[in-house]
Amino acid sequence: MPGSAADRLARLADGYLATQLLHVAVALGVPDALADGPRDAGDLARELGAVPGPLHRVLRGLAAEDVLAETGGGRFALTDTGRLLCAGLPGSLRDWVAMRGRLYYDAAAGLLAAVQDGGTPFEAVHGRPFFAHLSAEPARLATFQAAMADRSAREAGAVVAAYDTGGFASVVDVGGGRGTLLRAVRERVPGADVVLFDLPEVVAGSDLPAVGGDFFAEVPAGADAYLLSRVLHDWDDGDALRVLRTCRAAMRPDSVLLVVEAVLPERAADDAAAVRMDLHMLLLLGGCERTAAGYGRLFADAGLRLTRDVPTDAGVHVLEARPA
């Protein structure tokens, strides 16, 4: 019966199907192929190199999830949700979804073993740490960085709206990926001296001033502000502390560190997205989301003090820290 406890449980248990329906759609390019209007499975299958029967059933599955709409005559159209899967549109989540369908999905099957025996599911499945696995294959690394940029594009505007970065003349974005947040900061201070810092293979070819390196070793010194957006949650407390100490060593006494992260709520239901992100970290990296108090303790161990906790409209907080 729709809406019953049993119905809800059935939908939860079948969540694996929803992830794979989205994955198939993105991998084949179905959303882009529907961008100009409704089409049927036979027509799409010819263009996309698929088998019409199974493709029709996948399209119907996507219609059941309101990603597509059935428009009659066996044709399917994009809904507002489905349009978010098209490449290159503002707000697109295409690459963000692509990461979930393969790499994250494979790791998720190792969750029980991790809970019983410890360890990081991603490493058990792929035989090496997450970032090493990405760096080994340029296309995979590019999809991940595009996924991060998809997410960051939704967060960056909210971050600079909530926290005034206008006074910073020099800014280093540590583990900045494609520099989406750094660009938003630079827009606020057009003359600012900005540096994108990330692994050499990530910053290669960036149109931003960039330095490649290892944030466990050294980051560029002496900037007004350091950004760490969605970096600390990738690491357990020991490694997060190493990153913070590297940043602390690079900071002047009056520098500011801005940590952009979800903050774990008291009760899971108060921020389900933060709780899901915490599970992604468990699966992929052995990292974790933290409470504001947890960040405060880490900062103190790194010779920093938490000076502000600024919530944003995008679900992340800006945690401001200064040298203690």
> Which residues of the shown chain bind ligand SAM in the complex (CB under 6 A)?
131, 148, 152, 175-177, 181, 198-199, 202, 214-216, 229-231, 234
Cβ-in-10-Å burial (0-12, 13-18, 19+) of 13 comes to exposed
DSSP string over 231-252: -GGGS-HHHHHHHHHHHHHH--
Name the active-site residue from 56, 126, 133, 233: 233
Instruction: Kindly state the smallest distance separating residue 185's Cβ from ligand SAM, in Å.
Output: 12
CB closer to ligand SAM out of 45 and 312: 312
Instruction: Kindly state the smallest distance separating residue 76's Cβ from ligand SAM, in Å.
Output: 32
Task: Strand 317-323: give its sheet, edge to edge.
Answer: 210-212, 193-198, 170-174, 225-229, 256-261, 317-323, 304-311
CB closer to ligand SAM out of 67 and 172: 172
- Tell me how far CA of residue 169 lies from CA of 118, 180, 191, in angstroms: 45, 18, 7
- Enumerate the β-bridge partners of residue 261: 317
126 is catalytic: no
Task: Tell me how far apart the alpha carbons of residues 225 and 249 are, in angstroms, rounded to a whole number.
Answer: 13
CB closer to ligand SAM out of 207 and 254: 207
Residue type, 6: A
CB closer to ligand SAM out of 231 and 250: 231
Instruction: Kindly state the smallest distance separating residue 148's Cβ from ligand SAM, in Å.
Output: 4
Instruction: Kindly state the smallest distance separating residue 130's Cβ from ligand SAM, in Å.
Output: 9
Which residues are part of the catalytic machinery?
233
